[in-house]
């Protein structure tokens, strides 16, 4: 409820007007600070990890720049940027998967950034060729298999999961999930549309159940015996193994991980990344934040807390990631995943992958 009082000065009028706008229209307004004009950077983020907030706090401590955060799903944030247009207070968009970053770029919601620091810290394959977005971490999309029911020597490639021996044994998420869309986009890029369609149809025929749930749910389903092999991202396994919830830990302990396609193109990887928004009111601070997140110390912090692989080649992996061992990763520039996203969606619909 807004309480109207006599307006005695201009500052009071401005404060009341701001309160009225917030209450009436639900617009999120970022404070520009006190009279000393505190420097800020406004972040729209899809990521929901405590580690991220700790890094933002560290950035503020190091630079004096306050980080204001709005969290929502990637689709909601992209829609929000579209609706706000040139009036958007957002400086940075952070989300997961190159497909979503490409979507934001294709909607003209990001601007190109040329930073020597970002270019030095982040290898070319982890960033947009024109500087519209930058990977901050990467994760491998691996095969999580039952220790009890699967011999790892039976596993080889994503493509081999369509063979008859895996009928009724494969678990994965829906085709609406961006991780699966990007996996199929990588198969399109490497093997062509026809092969990608055959793979999608073959994997669908071998599923243990209709696609549903999160990556964690796939791991739990393997642990419960609903299927034998799940396609999931590595960092979910790390998080589950270190979860305070005993059920999560026990489920993860029943599976092992396998990096597919080590004999050819390598395991599909994807990123969590960020871009500077097109109308960023604090562009300089936005670039500083991205540079901070890409430095060796920040990268190692994320690797140890979130079990994500650092994109900065100078950063060390966490002990768990080292334990899993090195692997050959698909060397595609991840911008290709966005380029092939729409074709991947068409193929999923065509074969009936829900």
The whole-angstrom separation of Cα 55 and Cα 124 is 24
Contact partners, residue 194, CB within 8 Å, separation at least 6 = none
The whole-angstrom separation of Cα 102 and Cα 128 is 9
Helix (H) or strand (E) holding 290: helix 283-293
Q: Do domains 37-137+272-323 and 139-268+329-351 have the same CATH topology?
A: yes
How distant is the alpha carbon of residue 305 from its chain centre?
16
Partner residues linked to 255 by β-bridges: 146
**Segments making up each domain of the chain, as ranges:** 1-30, 37-137+272-323, 139-268+329-351
The whole-angstrom separation of Cα 42 and Cα 92 is 6
**Pairing state between β 255-258 and 229-233:** unpaired
Q: What is the pLDDT of residues 295-347, one digit of tens each?
A: 999 999 988 888 999 999 999 999 999 999 999 999 988 888 889 999 999 99
The whole-angstrom separation of Cα 66 and Cα 102 is 28
Owner of token pair 């490409």: 102
Contact partners, residue 297, CB within 8 Å, separation at least 6 = none
The whole-angstrom separation of Cα 217 and Cα 211 is 11
Pick the CATH number of 139-268+329-351 from 3.40.50.720, 3.90.550.10, 3.20.20.80, 3.40.190.10: 3.40.190.10
The whole-angstrom separation of Cα 308 and Cα 328 is 16
pLDDT for the residue numbered 123? 95
Using DSSP, state whether 231 is helix, strand or coil. Answer: strand
pLDDT for the residue numbered 37? 56
Owner of token pair 């890029």: 189
pLDDT for the residue numbered 38? 72
Owner of token pair 């895996």: 166
Q: Could you say which residues of the chain have pLDDT below 50?
A: 1-36
Q: Please give the CATH number for the structural domain made up of 37-137+272-323.
A: 3.40.190.10
The whole-angstrom separation of Cα 89 and Cα 119 is 26
Taking each helix axis from N to C terminus, what angle separates 234-241 and 215-223, rounded to the nearest 10 degrees? 60
Tokens representing residue 211 in the block: 């696609």
């Amino acid at each position: 409820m807004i309480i109207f009082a006599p307006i005695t000065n201009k500052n009071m009028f401005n404060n009341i007007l701001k309160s009225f706008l917030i209450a009436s229209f639900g617009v999120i307004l970022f404070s520009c600070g006190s009279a000393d004009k505190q420097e800020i950077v406004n972040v729209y983020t899809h990521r929901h990890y405590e580690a991220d907030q700790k890094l933002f706090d560290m950035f503020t401590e190091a630079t004096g720049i306050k980080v204001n955060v709005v969290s929502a799903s990637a689709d909601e944030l992209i829609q929000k940027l579209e609706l706000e247009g040139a009036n958007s207070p957002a400086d940075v968009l952070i989300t997961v998967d190159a497909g979503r970053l490409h979507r934001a770029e294709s909607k003209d919601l990001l601007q190109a950034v040329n930073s020597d620091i970002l270019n030095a810290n982040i290898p070319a394959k982890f960033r947009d060729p024109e500087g519209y977005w930058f990977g901050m971490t990467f994760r491998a999309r691996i095969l999580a298999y039952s220790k009890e029911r699967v011999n790892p020597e039976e596993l080889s490639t994503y493509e081999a999961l369509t063979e008859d021996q895996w009928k009724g044994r494969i678990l994965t998420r829906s085709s609406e999930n961006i991780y699966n869309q990007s996996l199929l986009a990588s198969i399109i890029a490497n093997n062509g549309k026809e092969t990608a369609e055959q793979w999608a149809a073959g994997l669908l025929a071998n599923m243990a159940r209709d696609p549903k749930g999160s990556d964690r749910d796939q791991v739990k389903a393997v642990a419960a015996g609903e299927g034998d092999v799940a396609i999931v991202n590595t960092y979910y396994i790390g998080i589950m193994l270190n979860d305070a919830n005993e059920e999560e830990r026990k489920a993860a302990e029943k599976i092992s991980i396998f990096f597919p396609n080590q004999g050819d193109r390598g395991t599909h990887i994807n990123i969590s990344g960020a871009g500077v928004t097109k109308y960023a009111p604090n562009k300089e601070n936005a670039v500083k934040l991205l540079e901070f997140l890409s430095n060796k110390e920040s990268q190692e912090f994320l690797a140890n807390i979130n079990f994500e692989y650092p994109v900065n080649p100078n950063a060390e992996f966490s002990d768990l990631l080292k334990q899993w061992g090195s692997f050959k990763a698909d060397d595609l520039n991840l911008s290709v995943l966005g380029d092939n996203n729409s074709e991947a969606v068409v193929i999923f619909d065509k074969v009936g992958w829900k």
